[in-house]
Amino acid sequence: MARKQFDLIVFDWDGTLMDSTSTIVKCIQAAARDLALPIPRDDVAAHVIGLGLHEAMQAVLPEIDPALYPRMVERYRYHFLSRDHELALFPGVHEMLNELSHNGYFLAVATGKSRVGLNRAMNDVKVLSLFDATRCADETFSKPHPAMLQELTRELGQDMRRTVMIGDTTHDLLMANNAGAQGIAVQYGAHPADQLAACKPLYSAPSVADLHQWLSGNA
């Protein structure tokens, strides 16, 4: 095996490992409906995926009374909790993570989810043991601030230049750029491929299978 380019591989969760984009969009729209607020279009709701919940609600409905944001978060959580047991990893993700772990990479997650939400999701799909560290938006700064990657590299004793962030949104790739890490885009999540390309990722994967193959040959 050729010398590795990376030691630490950090994944976003929703839309990158877990097939949850459409569910998140529907839950944001349902929260707005509950509060009789304007219902965001699908693409607008999808664009805020990956941000911390409060930041996401501010970005998706910037014109509303700020006092309504905590209620939007509460209604979103209500709807998401009623559906999150239906969610699954994208096909091929489990095999990819197992192989990367077996090959000696440090694996981590950097997500806009809450700690409670991430732990529950990872437990449900039985991948907790595959990850060396995780960071959530309620523990530090929301993407695209570099803090999540800075904290993960520090915790695991890793070099940012040998770290790659993999995600489906510009928030993920801009966080990587801001931190001085490499970024890899996946095109099957929340943000369109042209927006991802504008962030100059090292590679842009059309599918999980393409991502797995690229990592096997190039990481």
Give this prediction's pTM: 0.95
Does a structural domain hold residue 1? Answer: no
Which of these three, 85, 114, 141, is where a domain ends? 85
Of residues 84, 160, 145, 88, the one with CA closest to residue 112: 145
28 and 103 assigned to the same domain = no
**pLDDT of 2:** 58
117 and 34 assigned to the same domain = no
Catalytically annotated residue among 7, 14, 19, 84: 14
Which of these three, 85, 111, 126, is where a domain ends? 85
| CB distance 71 to 35 below 8 Å | yes
148 and 93 assigned to the same domain = yes
Range of the domain at 26: 21-85
Does a structural domain hold residue 154? Answer: yes
45 and 118 assigned to the same domain = no
Respond yes or no: is residue 12 known to be catalytic.
yes
Q: How far apart are CA 50 and CA 29, in angstroms?
A: 16
Which of these three, 31, 53, 85, is where a domain ends? 85
CATH code, 199: 3.40.50.1000
**pLDDT of 154:** 98
Low-confidence ranges of the chain (pLDDT < 70): 1-2
50 and 135 assigned to the same domain = no
Does a structural domain hold residue 173? Answer: yes
Respond yes or no: is residue 172 known to be catalytic.
no
51 and 73 assigned to the same domain = yes
**pLDDT of 158:** 98
The tokens for 176 are: 């990587």
- The dihedral sign for the CA sequence 38, 86, 11, 78: positive
96 and 80 assigned to the same domain = no
Does a structural domain hold residue 3? Answer: no
52 and 67 assigned to the same domain = yes
Does a structural domain hold residue 75? Answer: yes
| CB distance 8 to 109 below 8 Å | no
95 and 56 assigned to the same domain = no
Number of Cβ within a 10 Å radius of residue 36:
7
**pLDDT of 37:** 97
Catalytically annotated residue among 12, 19, 84, 168: 12
- Residue 210: is it exposed, middle or buried by C-beta count within 10 angstroms (0-12/13-18/19+)? middle
Does a structural domain hold residue 169? Answer: yes
Q: How far apart are CA 164 and CA 143, in angstroms?
A: 15
The per-type count for the chain, helices as H runs and strands as E runs, is 10, 6
Distances (CA, A) of 117 to 14, 38, 120, 195, 206: 11, 26, 5, 27, 27
Number of domains observed in the structure of the chain: 2
107 and 56 assigned to the same domain = no
14 and 26 assigned to the same domain = no
Does a structural domain hold residue 2? Answer: no
Residues whose CB is less than 8 angstroms from the CB of residue 186 and which lie 6 or more positions away in sequence, other chains included: 15, 16, 166, 167, 168, 204, 205, 208, 211
190 and 95 assigned to the same domain = yes
Q: How far apart are CA 111 and CA 136, in angstroms?
A: 5
- Residue 2: is it exposed, middle or buried by C-beta count within 10 angstroms (0-12/13-18/19+)? exposed
